[in-house]
A and B are shown apart, each in its own frame.
Chain A
Amino acid sequence: MSATPWLLDVRHLRKSFPIRRGWNRKVVGAVAAVDDVSFTIREGETLGLVGESGCGKTTTARCILRAMTPTSGEILFRAADGRVVDLAPLSRAALRPLRPQIQMIFQDPFSSLDPRMSVGDIVGEPLRVHGIARGKDRTARVAALFERVGLRKAQMANYPHQFSGGQRQRIGIARALATEPRLVVADEPVSALDVSVQAQVLNLLLELRTRLHLTLLFVAHDLAVVKHISDRVAVMYVGQLVELATAEAIFRHPRHPYTAALMRAVPVPDPQAPSGDVALAGEVANPANPPAGCYFHPRCPFVTEVCRIEPPALREIATGHLVRCHRAEELILSGVGAEPARGTHGVVDSLGHDGRTV
């Protein structure tokens, strides 16, 4: 990997929520929504964070934004002036000067824009709040942002309801870019959009990434979308990181059985592709009461005795390829767009794709 310095270094992040019962709201347990998650994001890189609902991907994103306070762990951020700051323990006041540097793109383009503000005011609001620009300067900046995301500056006086879903998402992106952030956290930015519009917004993000050298944490459940936009991909399961590698490596040669199963479960838009006949049994474990040993063992087709007892550690099995599995070395799993599995025992059958698309 290149020597580009990291921008964000998340170390042993934990966030747990209390479970309360009864009339006096007594705490009877805790849900470890994020359970010892560590990763870094380099400058200019896009890290995709995937997982199913309840895996903690959104909680992780919110902790980084400090929309919530982590239970423990460090969130090291390299600020614009070169200082390395741990965001985790900072107070609201101390966070404020850093806020313009970390911005967010929301999932729902309908509820994330104030219906009573003109879209020009919405995009200009971060500039106003942080005292970055005012008056004509602000209007000019907002106009430039509109053009950058593919909207006309004549539309600045309009209100959100006058825009389609895709256009609204562009407005959300323009707002996130207004403060020229160093890190953008995008939580499911295209999942609420129609297929024909989703491609436009993905293209816009790809373009901005290259042109503005944007660093992006891209949270999503759609593997195809994540693969399309990310340099590296992190997979979460029940609050833990189970695999982290470059997008190419993780899709071609997943090393964790869950990652492989997740990929296989995605229906491929080709009637000749084999349909997921070997669907993963069971359901996602309850994070309030996770199973002993490896959290994935009750659903894992390769489970052994050790998996039931001992929780596996996240370890590096190849350069830059982290995986949390006892059997990572011996299993040969096939991903997508890969050559057929070289058969050994217990091979997960491949998607059998020859890379042909329609």
Chain B
Amino acid sequence: MTTPVLQVKDLRVHFFLDEGLVRAVDGVSFDVHPGQVVGIVGESGCGKSVTMKAILQIVEPPGRIVGGQILFQKDSAPAVDLTRLSPKCAELRAIRGAEIALIPQEPMAAFSPVHSVGAQIIEALRLHERQWRPTGPRLTRSEARSMTVDLFRSVGISMPDERVDAYSWQLSGGLRQRAMIAMALSCRPRLLIADEPTTAIDVTTQAQILNLLRELQRRHGTAIVFITHDLGVIAQMAHYVVVMYLGRVMEQGSVEQIFHAPKHPYTQALLKSIPSVNVAPRTLLPTIAGSIPHPLGRPGGCPFHPRCPDAIPGVCAERVPALRPVGPTQLASCFLYHRDEAVEP
């Protein structure tokens, strides 16, 4: 196995609200290897976006990283623990945007409306020049511009010479997301974080964007952390899947294992409850009882136990199950498999 480009170890991000403490991310661990697409899937409130923010060190107060490590492997040097770096320090600013890039959910909100999209990419290229090109003369504005045009062409934007000068609000949703992808890839990042990159887009355009990401990933071998709530998208994009629920990892494994041999009752129930185009129409779907608890009213023990069909009385409500192997590359946090493996309180 290769050295992981990113190792998240027992990450904890808590939000200190006036109403109480919200454990948005509460002990999350996973690895991302070079060239691998890791999908993080979960419903609202599972902590998938907060995990993404923690990796980039952009968790907003009252949120704070209270524990764990985020080890990022740069070149051959020893891995840097991103949680040890101050969010505003030069070292982190050199990583963020250059080594770790983000494709946000809503490109309309991510691009500045008063600068052309090209200008924003040129800015990133020049700002991070020493990260993606350690030697050589300084990049001129016109060189950066022609690089941006090439980037636009590589992400399938037609008429790239004209589109460079367009403002984000002049572009359609699909084009805007393509421009965002061009920006994310501009500094040749080692790791790309895609946070629901196609949620705001129509389905035929989504297919194009997913194809583009798959192709670019294959060509550049970039590692991607792909965050989504859509199990269909995860199945099509990811090599390895992390299933989250209420701030904890329920299960992780290869995409085949998760979709064809899920071990955790939550994963099993989630997969059964999606209406597929292949399910007999107008039949009742198997459902997960109850609803996602309020962030301030989360259950003790295993977070899924009140909704779990297989909950063991007296066990699941008492202790929190630890994430343990249930196969060669598959892990689950469930007492059904490891009755005695609980997380220390």
Contact = CB atoms under 8 A, between A and B. Distances in A.
Interface of A: 52-53, 164-167, 194-200, 202-203, 206-207, 221, 223-225, 227-231, 247-248, 251, 261-273, 275-277, 279-281, 283-284, 336-337, 353, 355-358
A207 B283 CA distance: 9
B279 A283 contact: no
27 contacts: A53-B202, A194-B44, A195-B43, A195-B231, A196-B270, A196-B273, A196-B291, A196-B292, A198-B275, A199-B286, A206-B282, A223-B203, A224-B279, A227-B277, A262-B204, A264-B207, A268-B277, A269-B231, A269-B232, A269-B235, A273-B236, A280-B204, A280-B208, A284-B204, A284-B205, A336-B277, A357-B279
Given A272-B256, A283-B205, A356-B278, 15 more contacts: A52-B202, A164-B291, A196-B269, A198-B273, A199-B273, A199-B275, A200-B288, A224-B274, A265-B204, A267-B235, A268-B277, A276-B236, A355-B278, A357-B276, A357-B279
A31 B243 CA distance: 44
Interface of B: 43-44, 172, 174-175, 202-208, 210-211, 214, 229-236, 255-256, 259-260, 262, 269-279, 281-288, 291-292, 294, 307
B235 A270 contact: yes
Contact of A358 (B271, B277, B283): B271
A194 B274 contact: no
Nearest to B211: A279
B283 to A, nearest CB: 8
A263 B206 contact: no
Contacts of A251: 277
3 shortest interchain CB distances as A-B pairs: A267-B232, A199-B273, A265-B207
B42 to A, nearest CB: 9
B46 to A, nearest CB: 9
B211 A267 contact: no
B275 A194 contact: no
A53 B203 CA distance: 9
A280 B207 contact: yes
Contacts of B256: 271-272
B172 A283 contact: yes
A194 B232 contact: no
A230 B274 CA distance: 16
A221 B198 CA distance: 14
B123 to A, nearest CB: 27
A207 B233 contact: no
B231 A248 contact: no
A195 B208 contact: no
B87 to A, nearest CB: 30
Contacts of B287: 196, 199-200, 203
Contacts of B235: 267-271, 273
Contacts of A198: 273-275
A308 to B, nearest CB: 19
A275 B208 contact: no
A272 to B, nearest CB: 8
Contacts of B262: 358
A231 to B, nearest CB: 8
A275 B218 CA distance: 15
Contacts of A223: 203, 277
B207 A224 contact: no
Contacts of A200: 287-288
B275 A227 contact: yes
Contacts of B214: 275
A52 B201 CA distance: 9
A261 B259 CA distance: 25
A46 B276 CA distance: 18
Contacts of B43: 194-196
B304 to A, nearest CB: 10
Nearest to A209: B282
Contacts of A247: 281
Contact of B203 (A167, A231, A265, A281): A265
B13 to A, nearest CB: 21
B291 A197 contact: yes
A221 B232 CA distance: 15
A279 B156 CA distance: 13
A269 B284 contact: no
A269 B277 contact: no
B277 A165 contact: no
A231 B207 CA distance: 27
A221 B200 CA distance: 12
A272 B234 CA distance: 12
Nearest to B245: A196
B259 to A, nearest CB: 5
Given A195-B43, A268-B232, A271-B255, A279 B285 contact: no
Contacts of A336: 277-278
A283 to B, nearest CB: 5
Contact of A276 (B210, B271, B272, B276): B210
Given A196-B292, A262-B203, A270-B259, A248 B281 contact: yes
B278 A266 contact: no
A309 B231 CA distance: 41
Given A224-B275, A228-B279, A262-B203, A271 B210 contact: no
A357 B279 CA distance: 7
A166 B293 CA distance: 12
Contact of B270 (A195, A263, A264, A275): A195
A353 B278 contact: yes
Contacts of A271: 235-236, 255-256, 259-260
A161 to B, nearest CB: 10
Contact of B291 (A165, A228, A283): A165
A243 to B, nearest CB: 15
A269 B259 contact: yes
Nearest to B209: A279
